[in-house]
Amino acid sequence: MTGDDPGDADVVIVGYGPVGAMVANLLGQAGVRTIVLERDTEPHTMPRAGATDDEVLRVFQAAGLVDELLPGLDLGRARSSSRCAATGW
Ligand SMILES: Cc1cc2nc3c(=O)[nH]c(=O)nc-3n(C[C@H](O)[C@H](O)[C@H](O)COP(=O)(O)OP(=O)(O)OC[C@H]3O[C@@H](n4cnc5c(N)ncnc54)[C@H](O)[C@@H]3O)c2cc1C
């Protein structure tokens, strides 16, 4: 879908948080015409993904985003513990 005709979408996702964004990516890759509706007009002011794990990286990989993200990740800290190195989650 190009975004020109929102009424032509097969799926409507409400909310462009991490879940909505990733589902939209995966649906788009599968050829499903998808539109995302987000009430906020600006990005969040606080970072919300200071730490991630291997499962999330696999999802990024499935969405074709991992090569772009890897250079910015501190993998050394992640390897040092099974818990989140940055937050302790
Ligand atoms: C400061 C902070 C730091 C965090 N750090 C981490 C971290 O390091 N690692 C980690 O794994 N998690 C972290 N989290 C948790 C992570 O941000 C959440 O788990 C994640 O954002 C949840 O994603 P979501 O898409 O389900 O919901 P949300 O991120 O809440 O996104 C929902 C979106 O839907 C929109 N929306 C809601 N209702 C409507 C509506 N009726 N119409 C249109 N739009 C609507 C909202 O505006 C929002 O943009 C952090 C959270 C915070 C607050």
> Is residue 58 domain-shared with residue 81, that is, in the same domain?
yes
Please tell me the distance from the alpha carbon of residue 60 to that of residue 69, in angstroms, as a whole number: 8
Average pLDDT, integer, range 11-18: 94
Q: Is 19 in the pocket of ligand 1 (CB under 6 A)?
A: yes
Q: Is 14 in the pocket of ligand 1 (CB under 6 A)?
A: yes
pLDDT digits (tens, 9 = 90+) for 31-75: 999 999 999 999 889 877 778 888 888 988 988 888 998 888 877
Given ligand 1 and candidates 16, 40, 48, which is best to mutate, with the most ligand atoms within 8 Å of its CB?
A: 48
- Can you spell out the DSSP letters for 11-60? EEEE--SHHHHHHHHHHHHTT--EEEE-S-SS--SS-S-S---HHHHHHH
Model pTM score: 0.81
Q: Is 40 in the pocket of ligand 1 (CB under 6 A)?
A: yes
Question: Quick check: is 3 in a domain?
Answer: no
> Is residue 59 domain-shared with residue 85, that is, in the same domain?
yes
Domain that holds residue 89: 50-89
| pLDDT given for residue 3 in this prediction | 53
